[in-house]
Amino acid sequence: MEKIVCRQLSFAYPKSEYQALKNVDFSVENGEFCLVIGKSAAGKSTLLKLMKKEIAPCGTLDGDIEIFGSVGYVAQNVEENIVCDKVRGELSFGLTNMGMHGEQIDLLVAETASYFNLESKLDSDISSLSGGEKQMVNLAAVMIMKPDILVLDEPTSQLDPVSSERFIQMIKRLHREFGITVIISEHSLDNLFDSASRILFIDNGVLKCDLAPDDAARFLRSYGGGIEKIVPVERRLFDNAKTVSECREILKGKSLVQKPLVDEKTDIAAKIRALCFAYQKGNDVLFNLSLNVYKGKINAVLGPNSSGKSTLLKAIAGVCKAHRGRIKADGRVSMLCQNVYDLFTKESCGEEVEFGEITHYLGIDDIKERHPYDLSGGQAQRLALAKVLAMGADIILLDEPTKSFDCVLKSTLGEILRDLCAQGKTILLVSHDIEFVGEYADYVSFLSRGKIIGTRSRREFFSSLNFYTTSVSKITKNICENVVSVDDLREAGGIE
């Protein structure tokens, strides 16, 4: 039985010169698990929002889209779906609007909280939850309404790796136990690619691929334009491998070159010592934190949601005033904040930043006349990044800079950051994107419960960890040490 049918579906936003979707044709059967992938601004979010009439974008629609059944929708912004102060209120909100009362609401809320492991959080303020917990509440609030179709638009884009894994496992469990139809878009595919029944690849509004995972992997690896990086690392390295274990077996038969670690620490661009900070007389978010930020290098900080990463950048930028400790920065500081829309104050993108080389590299030449608030999440991220980089600061702070970025844009950003460092600039970024940090960072630190625990070179850092580490590091552990990226593996002789 068909749940979603698109026939020659095309869509254009108001005043736009191009179509966000072009003659898209596909159908989704009951109980399928469909993964929608593609570059930023390819049309993925537009397609998913058209499946939920209450949030369908305004514009010109040609062709047809039919939905058979109710749709539950989870957005990439964890705050976007939340309407209540308390977890209990969030779970009961939809039921109350349906006219349900009393004991039946209490029963369904209790059951749902138990299933989603939210019992201990029921009476908590949602503002006190981590990003991963908030997104789980969003999912629970959607599922308590018993939708026929679950649509998720990059739901893990703001989550740390552990929270992301938990969330994806919950999606898989819902699909496995209830047979619900799932349509999900993501940029990080490691935990999803082989779970999908079908992969839908959209490029520039056109559905280029609608295939099973094995066939989709072969198609994407040969597509060109850097799209091969969208395929999970395990499938990219070797033709006949899909998993870490299979890759490890292949590597064991190769003669690999062990590269020694080289410590290339430079002068210190920013020195943080014994820093303490708390919001509104609460507990310290940063506690006795010390960190060296190395000049002319890409310095990265990893850590779970709510560990204090964003607060650390705000303290260095002077947005947050620490109640104890010292910060000494050698030069001017600029910052890309997590909510990039906070940076926009003008009526058009062209007024926000001078369009030129950086905007061209970031692929946003075509948004010059648009209002910043009309941009997609990925476009807004790129505009904000261009604005921050154009400030010409000596120390550039970046809060989740790869958020909403596809594999091609991540590569572009990595090369831009390397070029800036070659010019003497210093980068300090905080991120959940382990694969990006594992490829481009020079030094990596781990932030846990307000403290920095160790700063090491990229290869040494990821080689020493088991969970917060790259896919390549998991593949090479105890076979060839200190190999943590695809380029590292190529240099070691593991791949051509």
Taken in order 73, 78, 83, 87, the sign of the CA dihedral is positive
pLDDT band at 281 (very low <50, low <70, confident <90, very high): low
**pLDDT score for 190:** 79
pLDDT band at 23 (very low <50, low <70, confident <90, very high): very high
Q: Determine whether 240 is exposed, middle or buried from the number of CB atoms within 10 Å of its CB (0-12, 13-18, 19+).
A: exposed
Residue with tokens 């609608």: 210
> What secondary structure does DSSP assign to 296-328, as a single string?
TSEEEEE--TTSSHHHHHHHHHTSS--SEEEEE
pLDDT band at 264 (very low <50, low <70, confident <90, very high): confident
Q: Do domains 2-226 and 268-464 have the same CATH topology?
A: yes
Average pLDDT over residues 52-66: 93
Full-model pTM: 0.86
> What secondary structure does DSSP assign to 400-461, as a single string?
STTTT--HHHHHHHHHHHHHHHHTT-EEEEE-S-HHHHHHH-SEEEEEETTEEEEEEEHHHH
Q: What are the helix (H) ranges across 44-182?
A: 44-50, 87-97, 102-115, 131-143, 161-178
- Domain ranges in the chain are 2-226, 268-464
DSSP 256: P
Question: Each residue of 220-248: pLDDT tens digit?
Answer: 999 988 898 899 988 888 888 889 999 99
Question: Each residue of 362-411: pLDDT tens digit?
Answer: 888 888 888 888 787 788 889 999 999 999 999 999 999 998 888 888 99
Considering only residues 161 and 297, tell me which one the structure prediction assigns the higher pLDDT. 297
- Using the predicted structure, report yes or no on whether residue 262 has a pLDDT greater than 80: no
Rounded CA gap, 352 and 386, in Å? 9
pLDDT band at 285 (very low <50, low <70, confident <90, very high): confident
**pLDDT score for 260:** 80
Rounded CA gap, 252 and 480, in Å? 9
Domain at 268-464: CATH code: 3.40.50.300
- Using the predicted structure, report yes or no on whether residue 494 has a pLDDT greater than 80: no
Question: Percentage helix, strand, coil, to 5, in the chain?
Answer: 35, 25, 40
Average pLDDT over residues 446-455: 91
**pLDDT score for 449:** 86
CATH class of 2-226: alpha beta
- Coil, strand, or helix at residue 280? coil
Average pLDDT over residues 148-159: 92
Q: What's the whole-number average pLDDT of the chain?
A: 91
Rounded CA gap, 392 and 28, in Å? 49
pLDDT band at 436 (very low <50, low <70, confident <90, very high): very high
